Every structure is written in C-alpha cells, then in structure tokens.
Structure 1
Amino acid sequence: MEVDNQIVGKTESFLFLAGDEGLSVRQLMALTEQSEEQMLAIIGQLKNSYEQRQDSGLTLKLFGGSYRLVTKAEYADDIKKLLENSSPKSITQASLEVLAIIAYQQPVTRVEIDDLRGVKSEGPIHTLISNGLIMEKGRLEGSGRAILYGTTDLFLDRFGLASLSDLPPLMHNDEEDVGDTDLFMTQFQEAFEVDNNGGGNHS
C-alpha cells in the first residue's frame, strides 16, 4: 500500500512528543485521520526505515499495545556510559518534587504523581529519565497499562545510598499527610542537602 510521506512524518512527530508513554494504533488513527490498514502500513514503513538506516540510533518498538520511539539495542552500552559519566545537570524544583515522590512511592504512575503534585509531570519525568535517575519499572495490569516509574542505581549513587532501605523515613503527624508535596520536599532536601545545581551530597 502506498503511504503519504507527509502522514509518515506527522506520525513520527506524534510518537516523538508522546515519549515513553507511546501511542496506540487507535490513538494514531485518530490523530492522523487514517484507517487502521493505512496506519499499520505507516508504522511498518517507519519501523523498516529505522531498522535499515545505519545513521540512526532510533527504532520503533511496541510495548503493551503502544508504539514508542526508543534507542537501538546496539547502543545500550554507550548510552549507559554517557549516563554514568556525564556531569550532573541542573535539577529544577519541579523535577526534585517528582524525584522525591518516585523515591518514596515507587513503583508509581504518572497519574499518581500528578495527583500528589496537583500539576502535570511529563516534563520533570522526561528530565529525570534523561538524567538517568528514574526509569520504567513495568506497567499496571488492566486497560491503559500505565507506566510504573522507579529510581535507578544511578539515583542511589548520586545520593550516596546503598539501597532504597537507606532512604530516611518520612515522619508525619495527624496534621501532616505523607502525600503532601511540601512534606516530601522539605525532608528530601534536608536529607540530601540538594540544591538547584543538580548535585546531591554525592555529586
């Protein structure tokens, strides 16, 4: 089946913007106004193009019913080396809030993080993933199969922890809710002396 290259490019841009959430065939059909047959042909062309190109480090994979743009497996060691050896990047207050919530509540979904913060968390989540501090830890069962996030070994290293059991306990009384972002932030920052330069006590 002949496909419209402009629609292929549009599909690629939607997949890029969706990030690690990915998009299902039906979502892509709605966004591009294509039939299922046309959409599958477009996805197939994109996937083949990525796999055949030696000058691209990306490919298209299906995870739990959603298509995602991911890095090719042959570059895994190089990417790991970059994440481990790169200097710490600036961590904004928003990213720090999300990191604190994930550290104590993991595995946790983006929706749960959003509920705790009261605002959307896509940006901070992408920042933390790019810094190698959090990663996908699986998916919820049932419809939607939301991504579960957790911290990485690099997170432990950055904050001088041997394991997650070394996280300081969150103390709260009858007037404080463990789900309160201010409580997370205050104790998380005090425990690790984190500042907005991105360093913990181990940087």
Structure 2
Amino acid sequence: MDTAELKAVVESLVFVSEAPITPERIAEALDVEKKRVLQALEDLVQEYARSRRGFILSEAAEGFQFRSRPEHAEWIRRLGKSRPFKFSRAALESLAIVAYRQPITRAEIEYLRGVDSGGVLKTLLDKHLIRILGKKDVPGRPLMYGTTREFLEVFGLRDLTGLPTLKEFSELAPETLQEE
C-alpha cells in the first residue's frame, strides 16, 4: 500500500471510529507497521491543521479523532440549541483531585475539600468522567476512584501526563486566577 492510499484508509478508519482510535489498532487492522501509521497520522494532523475546513484531526485519550474546530463552538451550540456543559466549582475541585491523586477514596477527597462529596462523585460517575477502580485494602474497604477515557476525551488529553503541573498553575497570571 503506497503512502497516499495508506493516508486515505487511515483517514477513513478514524472517521468511522466512534471513539478515539489508537495507532496500534489501525496498524493491526491494516496489517502494516505502526511506524507507517504514525507517520500517516502525523501528516493528516498537519494537513487538517493547515486547511480551512471546519474540523481537525486531534489526538485524545491515546488515540485519534476528528473534532470540530474550537473557534466554531458557538455556531455548533446554536445549531443544537444546547448550552455547553458547565462544571460546578465542587465538581471541578473533585474531578481535579481525582485526576491528580488517583486512585483515591471518597474520604480522602472529602478531607482535601473539607466538605461532603458524595453527590458530586455520583454526578461525575453518571457523566462517565470518573469510575470505580476497586476497593482499598484498609478497614471498611472504601471504594477507590479514578478518571476514565471519557475524561481524557472531554478535556482533549492524550493521557494523564497532559495535565498541567503545579509549576504551570503557579505561573498563571494573578488576574487570570481572579476572573473565576
């Protein structure tokens, strides 16, 4: 399979995939080297980024997926007549704690937040942003929570290493932090 055909087939597989598709999965399906698939994906990402189309090829949740351009979000919301999902401060705090400290128990989250977090955790579970990882091996065997692939997709992260570090947070301008 030549490079042009490979790129076209890879593009088709990404298009029909319901969730971000990994380069390994594509290579397996096409019976080609992962290196060739990665090169095709990199070329496609650059081509879509340069084009004036309404969508881009983006890396998320350790795979690749077509996404609308962020600058078109308002038009898309108007079409669907929907409001963007907004996280409450409690939900954002709890989600950040889970993302950075996972696996973590409800008691540990509540200790860090200083308030009951049961309702917030239920909401995050219902939205598939966190999941139960198992039970901690301590008396009472409390549930342990961690983030999901949907979390990575929603926030456009390849994996958890894409989360900002504490140093990056401290470098934010003070006026940026006060706006919220």
State the TM-score bracket (shorter-chain normalisation). 0.3 to 0.5
TM-score (norm 2): 0.47
TM-score (norm 1): 0.42
